[in-house]
Structure 1
Amino acid sequence: MQMGYGMDKSRRGKRRIIAAGVVCVTAAVLCAFYGYAVYCGLIQLNNPSKKRYPVRGVDVSHYQGTIDWPVLAAQDLDFAYIKATEGSSHTDEKFAENWEAAKDTGLRIGAYHFFSFDSPGESQLKHFTETVPAFRQMLPPVVDFEFYGDKKVNPPDRETVCAQLDVMLQGLEAHYGVKPVIYATEDTMHLYLEGRYEAYPLWIRSVMKKPDTGNWNWVFWQYTNRKKLNGYEGDETYIDMNVFEGDRDDWEFWSRNYEMGWNYRPVTAFPRGTGT
């Protein structure tokens, strides 16, 4: 009798181990599937309400390849930012083509510059202004201020970087007649921008959650880099999606009063909602 009891106990122990193993394997499979679904854009961690954020747009570069702008624009978009330059010498190979084609779509368009931590602000400014021709209804220029390479683990000195960023921002405002927008990640915002650049409109990247920018109200939010739309064929399958902080009346007010040569009126004048 004692031997039989011991065998039953052993069997129960084995069943528990097997059950625990099945649970662990199932959880691992589900986690892997969830991660894959997020990576492929099947699941979006952020899904801002269209009622709360009706104004939407994309940002594009040569990675989207040749863009059929009428097709892209017809997918409930209001604006597009197009990569123009990077650092002191690189020009996006698709900029000129995209810039001219996008003008005929009815979208509000603007150009952005990818800021280099390794290049003087003055030469970056010169490169952008010589590449991007101004026209009356363009959106304000954007400085894309994010880490690249090993900069996140080895961030450059704040004062050194900000001195060059100041040159670029002030030069853009002098050249185009409007304050440029700063695109930032939460990392670069906290490390370099907070407490110094709140006078500039903020475009924040936060693809995992709704952004927390403290007292610096954002104007644009890049909520995903895993959206699939029609109208482009390039190395990149996905496209970045963004929302504007405000309703359509706010958008008309902001975009049309922020045209070339007009005075900037800050978006903080708009009521902020709490929904997502």
Structure 2
Amino acid sequence: MMTVTRPLTGAVVLSCALSGIAAGAPARAADVGRSATHRVLDVQARRAGLTTAAGGYPGWAKTTAPAISVRRSAAPPRLVAGAQRGIDVSRYQGNVDWAAWAATGVTWAYTKATEGTYLRNTYFASQYSGAYKQGLIRGAYHFANPATSSATAQAEYFVANGGGWTADGKTLPGMLDVENNPYGATCYGLSKTAMVAWISAFAARYKQLTSRDVVIYTNSPWWALCTGNSTAFRLSNPLWIAAWTKTLNALPGGWPTFTYWQYTDTPIDQDYFNGSYTRLQVLARNHA
């Protein structure tokens, strides 16, 4: 076990516990600590402008000017007035000081629940309930590994291990984190058509189980490279765009807007919900 403490009024403790890895899971460099995760990416990833691999949680990659072009929007995507600040966490953050984060103005949070069908976040229960107890609107996310099992199996695993939804006004729909493969080929060995089919199958099964449309988290270069910039989800699934920049120039997949934006990983993954607190409550109750 390796633990790294980062100061923010005592708010964040990064704990990289290895005990939660199930037998048979892919070898995870990311599980020995965030500082040890940087490695050489495959050629496909580098050509797409993906530069930093950490793996297994949102924000694995910082993107530079991508070789895979994404058409710029007619007008740059913008945050609305009153956009709500949030954070996303995984077992790397260990025991989060939710009261400290709530005091900074954070109103919502997502916690990693599962990955593939082989890994559950050992801190999920405490993180998920901890956010709730501080009055934050919370949600759960799943890190997709299309190379290891079917989309249906992974959706079912996610829902069975924390990714469900209840109409309590405090639970956001689940999120599918689909991005570069930290264990091998960037696109998990799937063609663009097969990748779109995999994501579609996950979204369909998740909705069958929960009645909600799963949020899709991705970054523009990966989406262009591995789905052919598919527009299949633009009107059904809320977009969570990962772009560690001060402004957004374009969105992938024909999405007319973004629902969430992860804009930094310092000192923890920080995000915006692109709406007011009232709209966040609406998304938790039904659909924004």
Structure 2 length normalisation: TM-score? 0.64
Aligned residue number for residue 213 of structure 1: 251
Aligned residue number for residue 179 of structure 1: 213
1:223 alignment partner, one of 263, 270, 288? 263
Aligned residue number for residue 201 of structure 1: 238
User: 2:188, 2:117 → 1: CA distance?
Assistant: 22
From the CA coordinates, give the structure whose radius of gyration is larger.
Answer: 1
User: 1:177, 1:205 → 2: CA distance?
Assistant: 25
Aligned residue number for residue 89 of structure 2: 60
2:158 alignment partner, one of 115, 121, 128? 128
User: 1:83, 1:125 → 2: CA distance?
Assistant: 14
Decide whether aligned partners of structure 1 residues 52 and 126 sit closer, same or farther in structure 2, where only a CA change above 3 A counts.
same
SS of the residue aligned with 1:66?
Answer: coil
The size of the alignment, in residue pairs, is 202
Native 8 Å contact 1:53 1:244 kept in 2: no
Q: Percent same amino acid at aligned positions?
A: 28
Aligned residue number for residue 132 of structure 2: 103
Decide whether aligned partners of structure 1 residues 53 and 222 sit closer, same or farther in structure 2, where only a CA change above 3 A counts.
farther
User: 1:258, 1:209 → 2: CA distance?
Assistant: 25
Aligned residue number for residue 245 of structure 1: 274
Q: Which ranges of structure 1 fall in alignment gaps of 5 or more residues?
A: 1-48, 229-238, 266-276
Aligned residue number for residue 35 of structure 2: none
User: 2:180, 2:94 → 1: CA distance?
Assistant: 24
User: 1:50, 1:218 → 2: CA distance?
Assistant: 9
Native 8 Å contact 1:84 1:91 kept in 2: yes
Q: What is the CA deviation profile of residues 21-62 of structure 1, one whole-angstrom value per residue up to 9, with x for unaligned ones?
A: xxxxxxxxxxxxxxxxxxxxxxxxxxxx99845411000011
Native 8 Å contact 2:90 2:121 kept in 1: yes
Deviation of the 1:188 alpha carbon:
2.5
User: 1:140, 1:154 → 2: CA distance?
Assistant: 25
Aligned residue number for residue 39 of structure 1: none
Decide whether aligned partners of structure 1 residues 153 and 164 sit closer, same or farther in structure 2, where only a CA change above 3 A counts.
closer
Decide whether aligned partners of structure 1 residues 75 and 172 sit closer, same or farther in structure 2, where only a CA change above 3 A counts.
same
Deviation of the 1:190 alpha carbon:
2.0
Native 8 Å contact 2:145 2:188 kept in 1: no
CA RMSD of aligned residues (A): 2.5
Q: What is the CA deviation profile of residues 79-120 of structure 1, one whole-angstrom value per residue up to 9, with x for unaligned ones?
A: 100000001121011111111222111111000000112121
Q: Which ranges of structure 2 fall in alignment gaps of 5 or more residues?
A: 1-77
Aligned residue number for residue 140 of structure 1: 173
Aligned residue number for residue 103 of structure 2: 74
User: 2:117, 2:218 → 1: CA distance?
Assistant: 19
